[in-house]
Amino acid sequence: MKVRRDKISLFIVLSFLYSWFVLLIFLQMDGEWNTPAALPVGVLYMFGPTAAALTVQRVFGDQIAAPLGLKLSPNRWFLVAWLLPIALAFTALGTGLLLPGIDFSADMRGFIQYMEQLLPADQRDLVAEQMLQLPLHPAFWMLLQAMLFGPTINALAALGEELGWRGFMQNELRFTGFWQSSLIVGLVWGVWHTPIILQGHNYPDNPIAGVFMMILLTVLFSPIFTYVTARSGSVLAAAILHGTFNASIGLSRIFVSGGTDLTAGSTGLAGIFALLIANVCLLLYDRHLAADPLI
């Protein structure tokens, strides 16, 4: 037991050190978050947990890759991992409309204003004009992009996190049970985001409050990741879920105006409500529909 705790502690420390060091170097080079130059830095940041897991495995003399759950064994849970984030995005869209200060916006004015906050000043008008001139509604293209890039390019980047969180840490904590292990991983996962949240990631207008919002988000999302990983038998399903969620965030704001980065969208309060609904559905499914209950 002590060895296991030592492995988990070392993994957490190294995950933070590897990822935070990448961001520190970028900032020391006068880099700015939410710019094109930050994209490759963000990908390197995401691979901190994988680097930490591989280091720990080597330090403790364990098999390097096998325990991380990297198995190519597609099953129906891969499909769930692919489609669930789309459902969550549209659920967050619906729950967002129930919150005060958030209204339905068929003309996407609210979404364009939201995008303008994330773009350099010289690109805002161009991007807005291009969106409005698309032959089909931008929501269609956003959905198509999420469906195509979520389980491919985005999933590859997300694998950098998932080999660490779900592949290593969740596996090492499995003795604590489903909910406790999910809670611990969710907390660590959320805190790990702190430096980039403070740089404006996801919550550019409220970075400090955004740190706590992100932790709440990851804590609520963690059981879903745990369940999909366990049912699929592969960390690849978690990477697909993660990658598609990241690719579908825009869908949760495409038809809304008003609100703030703390309330609207998949990463705001609307997304928190969507994840609460998803956790209830997960519990009901496992208890009443699953042939072999996991929880």
- The model's pTM: 0.93
Closest C-alpha among 14, 13, 48, 9 to residue 196 = 48
Lowest pLDDT segment from 70-79, 172-181, 219-228: 70-79
43's tokens? 């990908």
pLDDT tens for each residue of 15-45? 999 999 999 999 999 999 988 899 999 999 9
pLDDT bin (cut points 50, 70, 90) of residue 72 is confident
pLDDT tens for each residue of 138-155? 788 889 999 999 999 999
Give the pLDDT of residue 291. Answer: 87
Give the pLDDT of residue 125. Answer: 58
Give the pLDDT of residue 21. Answer: 98
**Would you say 265 and 92 are in contact if contact means Cβ atoms under 8 Å apart?**
yes
Give the pLDDT of residue 92. Answer: 98
Give the pLDDT of residue 268. Answer: 97
- Specify the higher pLDDT residue, 136 or 256: 256
* DSSP 8-state assignment for residue 103: E
- To the nearest 10 degrees (0 to 180), the angle between helices 109-118 and 121-132 is 150
φ/ψ (deg, to 5) at 104 = -75, 135
Cα gap 211→120, rounded to integer Å: 23
**Would you say 256 and 92 are in contact if contact means Cβ atoms under 8 Å apart?**
no
Give the pLDDT of residue 281. Answer: 97
Arithmetic mean of pLDDT over the chain: 91
- pLDDT reading at 61 higher than 80: no
Q: Which residues, 6 or more positions from 33, have their beta carbon under 8 angstroms from its beta carbon?
A: 196, 199, 200, 201
Give the pLDDT of residue 69. Answer: 83
pLDDT tens for each residue of 119-128? 555 555 555 5
* DSSP 8-state assignment for residue 97: T
Give the pLDDT of residue 133. Answer: 66
Cα gap 88→68, rounded to integer Å: 27
